[in-house]
Structure 1
Amino acid sequence: MKKYIYSLGITVLVPVSIFTGACSSDHAGTEVKKANPVPVTIGIAETTVDSNIHVSGYIEAGETAEISTRVMGFITGIHVKPGDIVKQGQLLATISNQDIQARRAQAKAMVTEAEAALNDAQKDYERYTELHQLQSVSTREFENASLRYTSVKAKAEAAQQMQYEAEAMLDYTNLKAPFHGVVVQKNMDAGTMAHPGQPILILEQSALHRVSASVPEVYIPRVRKGMPVDVIVKSTGQSIQGTISEVSPSSRFSGGQYLLKIDIPNSTHYTLYSGMNVNVVIAIDEHLATHEHIVTVPAAAIFSKDQLTGIYTLGSENTALLRWVRIGRTIGNRVEILAGITAGEKFILAGDERLYNGVPVAIQ
């Protein structure tokens, strides 16, 4: 009986010791690997004194025309496409005009008939005038001849005006370019029914551009026509000198913003297209400046994810700490920070693609 109990103890203890040894062996072979520090450059959020006005805007053509017709009819041909350079007076599109040509022919026939009747009435009037002076006809007969001549003359004039109207309507079936420019949009194709006032083509002046921008109410007392401005094209970084040419006196129909128009020089050195976004810097006279204190960081330190904007700051034990911020204006190569970081706070200015939230960093 004792032998049986002793053998059972061995049977139970041996598997336990094997399991314990296995676990101990596995734990000893596992090592926790830590990420290598990412080399970074540190910057400090600065307080900038800014006395200028910074607003956003966009490039627009000096002139824009929506090419449409005043008559209803099928489009028989469109002779240009988007991107084509056109000259003033060049034929752009044609509308079916058989009915208008028929009306013009009718008007011409009426003019011919009216001119013949007018010629006959004029001769009668001249003859009756001479006879009346010789007192060979009564005053009543002379007045009847005069009234007939006046009536026929009015009908001839009406027939002539009908012909002018038909010819004018015929001109609206041949759509021509109102100025030198470029075709930027084609809304219809040949065979489509054109309706009065419905744009068929959109034409923009290719050689002349200007900037449209909006200024909040707080800045409008310091903005005047003729003031010089700096225009920075966001996509290319080009800096262009411009001049304010128009200042809207009302913000009623523009959402509380006052619209500005800025003239920029016509130069082949600039690569400009309508719709390009720009930053506008308006230099304010010293006696009108407010010298606003703002917090800025280099634009290169800001990154965007989805609809959020963030910057990496230094966390405890030199780790990268992602912080979401709210940005404002772009001032040169720096960005205004409205919320999320304060003046004097350190942030990661530059790192490599291995940078992420919580990774150790090595300050260089």
Structure 2
Amino acid sequence: MRLAINYNRALQLFTVIGLLIISSCSSNEKKDTQTGADTALLVTVSQPSADTKQGLTVSGQVEAAQSANISTRVMGYITRINVKVGDRVSKGQLLATISNDDILAKRAQADAMIAEANAGFKNAQKDYDRFTALYQQQSASAKELDNITLQYSSAKARLEAAKQQRNEVNAMLSYTNLTAPFAGTVTQKMMDAGSMANPGMPLLTIEQSGSYQVSASVPESEISLIHEGASAIITIDAIHKVINGKVAQIGQSSQNTGGQYMIKIHIPDTEKKGLFAGMYANVNIPLAQTIKTNISDQVMVPVSAIEYKDQLTGLYTIGSNQTALLRWVRLGRTQGNQVEVLSGLAANEQFIVSAEGRLYNGVAVKIK
């Protein structure tokens, strides 16, 4: 009897302890859930944009309207370079000289040949004048006059050949003195004095001062929408400047540019202050008709949403458990502040644009 009573009391005691444990676990779960909700990062989400747009945005670089690579047509050692990068030069200014001792020797030979040919020509001319007078006096035969005339013509031709040879040597000599083809600024210096100059290899690069343009590439699907003279809005982030320009030139072939057509946008001279060749620019060209992009073909996201790690690129999405999930993606071309996602993100997927705190894999997030 007493054993049964003790058994019932023990059973009641274990039942009470079990209920207390279950209640404690439930309370902890609610507390953890409440704490997780309170510490979640507030994030702003968006979906890829692929709707119609009323303008074409392309990227390009500022460049001088006219530039030239200075090279020589003869081989020789560079004896002197009179300019450095950043120097302003005037048209016809001497920039560099190439060793020309061998060409000077050839010119001396050409001068000697001219002197010899000139002496022979003068002698032949005297014989020709003498036999012409004798023939008129019937003191010389026609055959003798023909022979003298042939000698005279040959001597004259040899003199002319010697003179042309000297002209050729003088032309070669002029290639050893490199001058500026126009007024501008030296932007590159590829060689120094003492280096061997070869025909066609640039020594210097000169860009014309005071006139700039933007060179940009346009896809083949949109080149037909642009025409010369069209207005363009140029944004240069480096100097925080917006310039109104016009399309000055449209390339007619993309054979050597990977399917992209090059266009040139003229920058007015009044807007050149602060500009330097090589600055990156974003160009927006307003169009009369909208550009339609298929949402299944093109997925565009803000550049600011992209995460870079070593050679990888990704962006944060929201997982099923309301946590941030870093998704690696492959990017395509950039249009203004938007970049194309080629793979890794569906067109109807949400991604995190910004967060009120540091994002990392697995952190709890809450959509604003």
Change (3 A) 1:61 1:176: same
**What is the DSSP-based 3-state SS (H/G/I as helix, E as strand, rest coil) of the residue aligned with 1:69?**
coil
Bigger helix share: 2
Q: Which residue number in structure 1 is paired with residue 99 of structure 2?
A: 96
Per the TM alignment, residue 41 of structure 1 is displaced from its structure 2 partner at its CA by 6.1
Q: Which residue number in structure 2 is paired with residue 139 of structure 1?
A: 142
Partner Cα separation in structure 2 for residue 72 and residue 300 of structure 1: 52
Q: Which moved more, 1:95-104 or 1:76-85?
A: 76-85
Partner Cα separation in structure 2 for residue 36 and residue 259 of structure 1: 54
Instruction: Determine whether 1:42 maps to 2:47.
Output: no
Partner Cα separation in structure 2 for residue 78 and residue 35 of structure 1: 71
1:106 to 104, 109, 115: 109
Partner Cα separation in structure 2 for residue 66 and residue 253 of structure 1: 20
Partner Cα separation in structure 2 for residue 359 and residue 321 of structure 1: 8
Matches within 5 A, 1:159-238: 159-238=162-241
Q: Which moved more, 1:121-130 or 1:184-193?
A: 121-130
AA matched with 1:305: K
Q: Which moved more, 1:153-162 or 1:66-75?
A: 66-75
Per the TM alignment, residue 167 of structure 1 is displaced from its structure 2 partner at its CA by 1.3
Change (3 A) 1:136 1:242: farther
Whether the 8 Å CA contact 2:52–2:291 is kept in 1: the answer is no
**What is the DSSP-based 3-state SS (H/G/I as helix, E as strand, rest coil) of the residue aligned with 2:269?**
coil
Q: Which residue number in structure 2 is paired with residue 81 of structure 1?
A: 84
Per the TM alignment, residue 154 of structure 1 is displaced from its structure 2 partner at its CA by 0.8
Change (3 A) 1:37 1:88: farther
Per the TM alignment, residue 315 of structure 1 is displaced from its structure 2 partner at its CA by 5.7
Q: Which moved more, 1:199-208 or 1:170-179?
A: 199-208
Change (3 A) 1:237 1:167: same
1:305 to 288, 303, 309: 309
Please, what TM-score do these two structures have when normalized by structure 2?
0.74
Partner Cα separation in structure 2 for residue 155 and residue 74 of structure 1: 34
AA matched with 2:345: G
Q: Which residue number in structure 1 is paired with residue 21 of structure 2?
A: none
Partner Cα separation in structure 2 for residue 305 and residue 59 of structure 1: 30
Per the TM alignment, residue 190 of structure 1 is displaced from its structure 2 partner at its CA by 1.8
Which deviations, in whole Å up to 9, do the C-alpha atoms of 1:208-247 show, x marking residues without a partner? 3333332222223323333333333354453333333333
Per the TM alignment, residue 158 of structure 1 is displaced from its structure 2 partner at its CA by 0.9
Partner Cα separation in structure 1 for residue 264 and residue 136 of structure 2: 71
Per the TM alignment, residue 161 of structure 1 is displaced from its structure 2 partner at its CA by 1.0
Segments of 5+ residues of structure 2 without an aligned counterpart are 1-31
Partner Cα separation in structure 2 for residue 159 and residue 323 of structure 1: 78
Q: Which residue number in structure 1 is paired with residue 277 of structure 2?
A: 274
Matches within 5 A, 1:284-303: 284-286=287-289, 289-292=290-293, 299-303=303-307
Q: Percent identity, aligned pairs only?
A: 49
Whether the 8 Å CA contact 1:50–1:293 is kept in 2: the answer is no
Q: Which moved more, 1:234-243 or 1:85-94?
A: 234-243
**What is the DSSP-based 3-state SS (H/G/I as helix, E as strand, rest coil) of the residue aligned with 2:214?**
strand
**What is the DSSP-based 3-state SS (H/G/I as helix, E as strand, rest coil) of the residue aligned with 1:54?**
strand
Partner Cα separation in structure 1 for residue 48 and residue 345 of structure 2: 14
Segments of 5+ residues of structure 1 without an aligned counterpart are 1-31
Please, what TM-score do these two structures have when normalized by structure 1?
0.75
Instruction: Determine whether 1:57 maps to 2:60.
Output: yes
2:154 to 151, 154, 161: 151
- The total of aligned residue pairs comes to 330
Partner Cα separation in structure 2 for residue 345 and residue 193 of structure 1: 60
Change (3 A) 1:175 1:263: same
**What is the DSSP-based 3-state SS (H/G/I as helix, E as strand, rest coil) of the residue aligned with 2:111?**
helix
Whether the 8 Å CA contact 1:37–1:359 is kept in 2: the answer is no
Per the TM alignment, residue 147 of structure 1 is displaced from its structure 2 partner at its CA by 1.6
Q: Which residue number in structure 2 is paired with residue 14 of structure 1?
A: none
AA matched with 1:250: S
Instruction: Determine whether 1:357 maps to 2:368.
Output: no
Q: Which moved more, 1:261-270 or 1:180-189?
A: 261-270
Partner Cα separation in structure 2 for residue 342 and residue 263 of structure 1: 37
Whether the 8 Å CA contact 1:298–1:335 is kept in 2: the answer is yes
**What is the DSSP-based 3-state SS (H/G/I as helix, E as strand, rest coil) of the residue aligned with 2:255?**
coil
Which deviations, in whole Å up to 9, do the C-alpha atoms of 1:115-170 show, x marking residues without a partner? 23323333333343344334343222222222222111111111111111111111
